[in-house]
A and B are shown apart, each in its own frame.
Chain A
């Protein structure tokens, strides 16, 4: 897989846009998933995932081919997500107030744009709740938790993506896990 990816990257570096389309094809779902879990919103996730691919394309000459491409790509994406989260922080207070009165309605609305059968909805509720609790985590814990438990990446790779020492990554996962445990204890 890595050899195949590197071959395509060499072609991209020579200006072959089709090769880049193949790269997007290959990583689109994983990248979208990271953004979606970080941002909790499909529309924003699409926006940021697209931006991440564009930055990777524009800066492809700075990519060190001795490293793993996905690590570099995920790093671009998580940085963009964290930027986005920080920029819209004031909105989060609004969300918290909504939650106090209306439960999860606002979040349900976002996720339920497509029509789903009743039993699917029943199942969805737990998942929505989990997504909601993930998006309540401070951004630095959120990134570590998403990479560890949703992307299931090894700690060493997470440390490279987040550009943090291994020990810090572990601490963030522990704290994120502990925060989620408390938030989900009534589920």
Chain B
């Protein structure tokens, strides 16, 4: 039994891909007329394609959109603040101006800049990073100001980090994590309706920056 020439098979492929030259198309037709094996392969191929294409089109389940939307991750506060900054650059500039001009505000702000955290059993401190050590379990909520958190062990509780961040960790947190950037919060506060208060506050505390 003679195998059909490779070239005929290649021409069939080109033909089925819609990429055959007129001269090869003619050659292919002749081959198909002259060889019943080639013809059989060709017919089976077109039949296969027809079968695959006849596969009825399936539809996503009726509640697919709703389920997908419900499964999307919630936006973090940080993204919201960043978006606000992107879309309201003028307001941010105005707020920054007020803040920077107000030495009193700056100093009261920096009073708040000390590293502090909720003391819980098994917590370890490395510099200004609070650590849940590997192999240890800490139970209870933790709030950290002006410092970072790393979890190498297990933490059963919610975390709030003000002016710091949750570092890449290898452990497990069984609770919610919230990061608050206080500078943003302050801007928000200033923008949101205490603009006048801030100005009068500035007036009553005339202390140029740098003195």
| B61 in contact with A20 (CB, 8 Å) | no
Per-residue interface assignment for chain A, residues 102 to 129, with 1 indicating a CB less than 8 Å from any chain B CB and 0 otherwise: 0000000000000000000000001100
Q: What would be 5 A-B contacts, judged by CB atoms less than 8 Å apart?
A: A21-B65, A29-B59, A150-B55, A174-B13, A180-B52
Complex CA gap A20/B71 in Å reads: 13
| CB contact under 8 A between A28 and B79, given known A49-B60, A184-B47 | no
Across-interface contacts of A45 in B (CB, < 8 A): 58
Interface size on A, residues (CB 8 A): 43
Name which residue of chain A comes closest to B63, CB basis. Answer: A46
| CB contact under 8 A between A24 and B69, given known A15-B75, A181-B44, A184-B47 | yes
| B2 interfacial contact with A, CB 8 Å | no
| B48 in contact with A184 (CB, 8 Å) | yes
Q: Which residues of B from 54 to 96 have beta carbons under 8 Å from A?
A: 54-61, 64-65, 67-69, 71-73, 75, 79-80, 83, 87
| B16 interfacial contact with A, CB 8 Å | yes
Complex CA gap A130/B47 in Å reads: 12
| A37 interfacial contact with B, CB 8 Å | yes
Closest Cβ of chain B: how far from A171's Cβ, in Å? 9
Q: Which of A180, A181, A185 has the most CB of B within 10 A?
A: A181
Name which residue of chain A comes closest to B56, CB basis. Answer: A127
Name which residue of chain A comes closest to B44, CB basis. Answer: A181
| A17 in contact with B17 (CB, 8 Å) | no
Complex CA gap A49/B67 in Å reads: 11
| B17 in contact with A32 (CB, 8 Å) | no
Partner of A184, one of B13, B51, B53, B60: B51
| B60 in contact with A46 (CB, 8 Å) | yes
Name which residue of chain A comes closest to B66, CB basis. Answer: A21
